[in-house]
Amino acid sequence: MQKPLALPPELLSGPFTLLEARAQGLGLDQIRRAGAAHVSRGLYRPANWDFDLEAAARALSAATPGAWISHVTAARLRCSMLPPWLADSTELHLSKPRSLPGVRRKGVVGHRVIAAEGEVESVDGILISTRSRTWLDLAKVLPLSDLVCMGDELIRVPRQVFEGRAVPYATVDELRAMVERHPNLQGVVRAREALDLMRVGSDSGPESLLRLAMFDAGIPEPELQIRLRKADPFSPSADLGFRQRRVAIQYDGGHHLGEAQSLSDRRRDKAFEAAGWKVLVFRKDDLEDGFKEATRKIKKTLRSAWVDPAVASGFERAV
């Protein structure tokens, strides 16, 4: 009876390729004796390994020259905004150029695509579709509203102090140019529709969904990240609002329940109210309702709110 072997520490953290095993002095027989499970062609995993998406994607990328991680897998690795039914997906998506044979690996969803220069990049040793190309790839499966949310995340202006970057991941013009490079890609029509609905200034998925619900309800388009005092960069701001009606709209998600954030929110709302604004605050319950009751409240508030006489006629017709 053959004595079991232990995998070297370098191969215990996640899936590994046959080439990586051979670099550690192991052949196929030694891999089997160590109890490693065969995952796919040239790919193995330690027997007691708990699934980890990044480790699985890294090994899959290394084992498949010329291919790259894409679609849902790419979105999850980048913590992109996804609907709940995809947010915990463990699917492994791998794309190849159409000039190469298709992906034939157990447990892997393969795609043969046309990718332009700059649409695939290497991140921490993993070949992966860019954020923008991932958005376009997911246009095939995401509902329009979720595609808009994901797009708004790409074009929003980040806060340097919190995110360590000051430049958006993409601009609308850049995304539109990419869409036009792929006129025959499945989902491209929905991508074009999403581009027309995307706006810079939505800082979260619920904010985007609230804005879309307002659009569907026939409410005039709001200003996003509206400052109480226009010229003051330190002024309190509202997620959405109508300056001409002095109506501020906030979506307070789960992180707003903390004591410090709640205190900050109250100060923010009181500043608007002291200046004569009406403040509407919506939360998770409104999101789960599809913002039906929220849009009703917004319409009612806009009809009764103060209005700047200079814009009254046009706004009155709209609401």
Q: What is the pLDDT of residue 127?
A: 96
d(CA 194, CA 188): 10
What pLDDT score was predicted for residue 24? 85
Q: pLDDT band at 4, cuts 50/70/90?
A: low
At 261-301, the pLDDT tens digits run: 778 889 999 999 999 999 999 999 999 999 999 999 999 99
Higher pLDDT, 6 or 4: 6
- Indicate whether 178 pLDDT > 80: yes
Q: pLDDT digit string (tens) for 192-210?
A: 999 999 999 999 999 999 9
The pLDDT score that the predictor gives to residue 1 is 43
Tokens of 18: 């046959």
The predicted model scores a pTM of: 0.82
Closest CA to 77 of 56, 97, 50: 56
Give the pLDDT confidence of 98-157 residue by residue, as tens digits.
888 878 777 889 999 999 999 999 999 899 999 999 999 999 999 999 999 999 999 999
pLDDT for 258 equals: 56
134-146: pLDDT as tens digits: 999 999 999 999 9
pLDDT tens by residue, 18-60: 888 888 888 888 888 787 877 777 788 787 767 789 988 998 9
Q: What is the distance of C-alpha 163 from the center of its chain?
A: 15
- In terms of pLDDT, which residue wins out, 259 or 222? 222
Decide yes or no: CATH 3.40.960.10 for domain 202-319.
yes
Measured in degrees and rounded to the nearest 5, phi and psi for residue 89 equal -60, 135
Residue extents of the structural domains in the chain: 1-50, 51-200, 202-319
CA distance 148 to 156: 12
Ramachandran quadrant class, 248 (left: phi over 0; alpha: psi -120 to 50; beta: rest): beta
Cα angle for residues 166, 174, 179 (degrees, 5° grid): 140
Query: Residue 227: pLDDT above 90?
Result: yes
**In whole angstroms, what is the distance from residue 249 CA to residue 209 CA?**
13
